[in-house]
Structure 1
Amino acid sequence: MRRAMRAELTVTAKGQVTLRQAVLDHLGVKPGGRVDVELLPDGRVELRPAGARADVADLRGALRRVGQRPLSLEEMQSAIEEAGER
């Protein structure tokens, strides 16, 4: 099980925050690098290295639905062909 890393940061009078080296190392961001910030609806913020792309492996199970069995490639091809005939 992966353990979450926590860091408490201080906001300056200018409203700026300096990220600790451990955070930058975790993101793989070097000096001069850029960070993407996503503001989430629940008040949280997500940081990621700018230009970082999700790994294809991260998509595994993204379309899984409870109670629905996975389809074989043959079943998928058949469904595509059937839809094309309509």
Structure 2
Amino acid sequence: MTILTLTSKAQVTLKKELQRHLNVGPGDQIEVVALPNGKLEISAAKPSQEGGLEAFFGSFKNTHNVHLTLDEIQDSIEAGWSKGMRLDDDR
């Protein structure tokens, strides 16, 4: 068991071993849930895996330094499109 001390500003500093256990560091967020009988449950806040703006922009990383023309992109889309449908078809 680890005992933490409350500061005059009502703040608590997590000791290094607890930070390592939660796999968190400076700038990371921690989620706190109040439980019955004056207990708290803390865990590392997990960033949203779906739909976040950061995830969207992260999807544009060009790790292989590949550059395609718009025509090449369209050809690739059409090749993977199911049942031969084109994006510009009026179906």
Q: Which has the higher helix share?
A: 2
The structural deviation recorded for 1:10 is 0.7
Q: Which residue of 2 aligns with 1:38?
A: 33
Show CA shifts across 1:12-68 (max 9, x none): 11111101010010001122111000010121100000027xxxxxxxxxxxxxxxx
1:32 is aligned with what amino acid?
G
1:31 is aligned with what amino acid?
P
**Higher Cα radius of gyration:** 2
1:49 is aligned with what amino acid?
A
Is residue 44 of structure 2 the alignment partner of residue 49 of structure 1? yes
SS in 2 for 1:42: helix
Where structure 1 has 5 or more consecutive residues not aligned to the other structure, the ranges are 1-5, 53-86
Root mean square deviation, CA, Å: 1.8
SS in 1 for 2:37: coil
C-alpha distance in 2 between matches for 1:14 and 1:32: 19
- How many residue pairs were aligned? 48
C-alpha distance in 2 between matches for 1:20 and 1:42: 24
Where structure 2 has 5 or more consecutive residues not aligned to the other structure, the ranges are 48-91
